[in-house]
Amino acid sequence: MGEVLVVLVLASLTALATGLGAVPFAFVSRISSAVEARANALAAGLMLGASFGLAAEGTHRGGWQTMAGAVGGVLFILLVHRLLDRHRFSFETAKSVPGEAAGGSAAAAKRALLVLIVMTAHSAAEGVAVGVGFGGGETLALAITVAIAVHNIPEGLAISAVLRSQGVSLVRCAGWSVFSSLPQPLLAVPAFLFVELFQATLPYGLGFAAGAMAFLVLQELLPEAYGNAPARAVSLFVTVSLVLMVLFQRSL
């Protein structure tokens, strides 16, 4: 019971960290797309570093099982995206809904809703990562928790940027940002209990989280970053945060 509580509290902290993305808007009215791109690149490096940590722990326990889990993680994200696409929800449409330039409030509200839905769908995989991270030991768990918490801040920044431009208050921006990450504590606990009860599934779970997170980086964060900042700036942010993330995991 004590361990479950720890998982719940730490996974809740990662969700709360998303709210920090609203903080810059206490000082500035808007964030440029170039800054958002660099934030995405930073998040991409942290996520890749966390994926490396999960994959390393998984392959240590079983290479083929970890790879099978990674395939499952990629398929999970593809399935989520297919469901979102069916309802015309995607990362691109979330960033620019046609008609918004005309200043239509309905389009603006739709954009805010899209961003929220897409971010919420993403955080499901991150919740599983936190849960299985605890199954892999305290060191890995702490590293993954910190990585996802720090990575959540740029996600909160993206959500707050859209909401703030619609005149939503700072507190509500933070609140909706946290809301988008609620699947993290909600899925972290069952994921942890599952790998605890069925130890043999741990490498599959670690692979699932690693595959899902790496796929999100390649399919969404990087293209989004390349679209709004020079490749060399994106590369610098990704590689530096990746190296620091790996060093952090190693230093624990």
Partner 1 sequence: MNPVAVAFLGSSAAALTASAGSLSLLFSQRLPGVAIGWANALASGFMLGAAYLLMSAGLGYSAWAGAAAALLAVASLHAVDRAGRSALVLHALHSAPEGLAIGGAVWLGFPFGIFMIAAIAIHNVFEAIALCGDLRDRGASVSRTAVLAAGSNSGQVAVATLSAALVWLFPFLLPWVLGAAVGSLAYLVMVDLLPRSYQEIGKTSISLVTLAAMAILVLLGIPG
Which residues bind to partner 1, rule: CB under 8 A?
A: 52, 55-56, 59, 63-64, 67, 70, 74, 78, 211, 214-215, 218-220, 222-223, 226, 231-232, 234-236, 238-240, 242-244, 246-247, 250-251
**What is the secondary structure of 199-232 as a DSSP string?**
GGGHHHHHHHHHHHHHHHIIIIIHHHHHHHS-HH
- In the bound state with partner 1, the residue whose beta carbon lies nearer, of 24 and 73, is 73
- In the bound state with partner 1, the residue whose beta carbon lies nearer, of 72 and 190, is 72
- In the bound state with partner 1, the residue whose beta carbon lies nearer, of 87 and 232, is 232
Q: How far is the CB of 26 from partner 1 (least distance, A)?
A: 32
Q: How far is the CB of 208 from partner 1 (least distance, A)?
A: 13
Q: How far is the CB of 212 from partner 1 (least distance, A)?
A: 11
Q: How far is the CB of 139 from partner 1 (least distance, A)?
A: 13
Longest dimension (CA), the chain: 55
- Residue found by looking up tokens 């971010």 in the block: 119
Angle, helices 138-165 vs 170-180, to 10°: value is 140
Sequence length of the chain is 252
Cβ neighbourhood burial of 194 (10 Å; 0-12, 13-18, 19+)? middle
Q: How far is the CB of 55 from partner 1 (least distance, A)?
A: 7
- In the bound state with partner 1, the residue whose beta carbon lies nearer, of 22 and 225, is 225
- In the bound state with partner 1, the residue whose beta carbon lies nearer, of 132 and 217, is 217
Alpha-carbon span 126 to 152, nearest angstrom: 10
Instruction: Tell which residue, 146, 136, 147, has the closest CA to residue 60.
Output: 136
